[in-house]
Amino acid sequence: MPGELPPFETWEMELHGHRVMYRMAGSGPPVVLIHGMVNSSRHWEAVATQLASDYTVIAPDLIGHGDSATPRGDYSLGAHAAAIRDLLAVIGIERATIVGHSLGGGVAMQFFYQFPQRTERLGLISSGGLGHDVSPMLRGAALPGVQNLIAIGAHPKVLNALWGAGEKMRARGNSKGVYLQAVARALRPLEQPGARTAFVHTLRSVIDIHGQRVSARDRLYLLERFPTLVVWGERDRTIPLEHGRATADAVPHARFETLPKAAHFPHLEDPDGLARVLRDWLETTEPARIDDADWGSVVGRRAPRSRIEAGVA
């Protein structure tokens, strides 16, 4: 039918003995969309189907998230990035534009850092790993014993009550109802024990009670040859918009866009606006390419050439 959006199909593979789910749509140059904590590939559907007329869109479920396995193991950014590298290799995609939201932004930056030869562009949406500050709720979720509290909060009756209360608040014109529903949406994927364990391990790999533990700011200079997009929701209360603005300032050629309708989940709160920004960026930039032989010169540009230059006697 004319105007019908392409299907966002679900696929499954086994990687290193564990089930990995991913979704794909469209054809053309590959674009990888990486979700954040307590999200999954399905949350990208409204954006992915709008890009799929001209691009092959691949959205994996990170290990421990969505319908992928929840093994006892490594939930670090590097482990997630390596798993995406392996998934792309199996389905025959050598290089791609990498886009990540929140935790997925940290994974996307780690993917670029570990596998620059496989990266064509980098898109960061309300990304973690760009500053210390993060919401008190996420800092609190890193506390010992929080898994039991999450189990209570993720009970279906509690979630339905939260969602219903949010609906009533919104109907009365109370904007806080949106945030109540956001809490319910965030907790819903954590109904299963394995998902809760994976969430806690993933969270503690990047956040503690003091804030974000992992920062990529010292390596942003490595993006000098790569088209870079930074997008933030203007209503974001989870990770400050200032992190995005400072990142765009640190990468001189980066494009910085804000979405007035969105808070921390632009792909859910304003998918049309986000898809429009992504498409314009893809259409107006050329994919970068770097070889192993060139990477050393990029990294070495800020590295001291001798112990004397480094101030070491």
The residues annotated as belonging to the active site are 102, 236, 264
CB distance 207 to 142 below 8 Å: yes
CA 307 to CA 131: how far, in whole Å? 30
* Sign of torsion over alpha carbons 303, 308, 309, 311: positive
**Best CA proximity match to 113, nearest among 210, 214, 245, 21:** 214
What SS3 class is residue 268? helix
The CA-atom distances, in angstroms, between 301 and each of 195, 221, 234, 249 are 42, 9, 35, 19
Give the containing element (helix H, strand E) for 12.
strand 9-15
For residues 190-205, one letter each, b for 16 or more C-beta atoms within 10 angstroms of the residue's C-beta and e for the rest, the string is beeeebbbbbbbbbbb
Give the containing element (helix H, strand E) for 25.
strand 18-25
What's the distance, CA 252 to chain centroid?
Answer: 22
DSSP state of 241: H
CA 47 to CA 44: how far, in whole Å? 6
Beta-ladder partners of 24 = 9, 58
